[in-house]
Chain A
Amino acid sequence: SQQGEEDPQALSIQEGENATMNCSYKTSINNLQWYRQNSGRGLVHLILIRSNEREKHSGRLRVTLDTSKKSSSLLITASRAADTASYFCATDGATSGSRLTFGEGTQLTVNP
């Protein structure tokens, strides 16, 4: 079953613009991770944020976590056509163990 819901399901922007994707989850977590997937194959790990962290940066990526609202956001700044992909959030938790429970994903299209 899916723990999380991503919002929006699909996002289309122009190169250079920022892209924001949101993820909500239902149960208490230890960590939340964001992944990128191209062409329905392997998942590329982007960033992990722990439940006691509120914000994390990696290059053009910024992730926030609000455990009181059970939500996270992924911001990609200055987007490029190569950022076109599906983005998933995934959580692990105290009751589910270290296995990941994934959201439905956001399909991002960056138009050149």
Chain B
Amino acid sequence: GAGVSQSPSNKVTEKGKDVELRCDPISGHTALYWYRQSLGQGLEFLIYFQGNSAPDKSGLPSDRFSAERTGGSVSTLTIQRTQQEDSAVYLCASSPRPYNEQFFGPGTRLTVL
């Protein structure tokens, strides 16, 4: 079956612009996670959605970052007023339920000039 998909695969933007990153999880997966990977910080958790529960936003690095998940499926991660330190690969993962295997998408490489 189809895996997790993310779009765009690459995004180059200018400092100060807003960007939206999209994640389509595996159908039927209730848990959805966002992570990012950068050279200095490794792989780090950003935000987690589970069903209709309030998301766990504890990993978001600043209030410029937000995310939503519509209809329990597609998720969008929005970064406002991008900064150069936001440059990273943003990875989305989904899981059939919490505490199970997480399946990752191919990522979006964000470059902020």
Which residues of A line the B interface, CB within 8 A?
1-2, 30-31, 33, 35, 40-45, 48, 88, 90, 92, 97-102, 104-105
Cα distance A111–B27 in the bound complex, in angstroms: 39
CB atoms of B98 and A97 under 8 A apart:
yes
Count chain A CB atoms within 10 A of each CB in B44, B105, B109 and give the residue with the most. Answer: B44
Contact A33 B105 (CB under 8 A): no
Partner of A100, one of B33, B37, B105, B106: B33
The dominant DSSP class at the B interface is strand
**Would A99 and B56 be within 8 Å (CB), given that A2-B42, A40-B37 are in contact?**
yes
Q: List residues of B whose CB falls within 8 A of some A CB.
A: 31, 33, 35, 37, 42-45, 48, 50, 56, 59, 89, 91, 93, 95, 98-107, 109
Given known contacts A31-B99, A45-B102, is B59 in contact with A99 (CB within 8 Å)? yes
CA distance A35 to B98 in the complex (A): 17
Given A45-B103, A97-B56, residue A40 in contact with residue B89 (CB < 8 A): yes
| Complex partner residue of A102 from B42, B48, B103, CB under 8 angstroms | B42
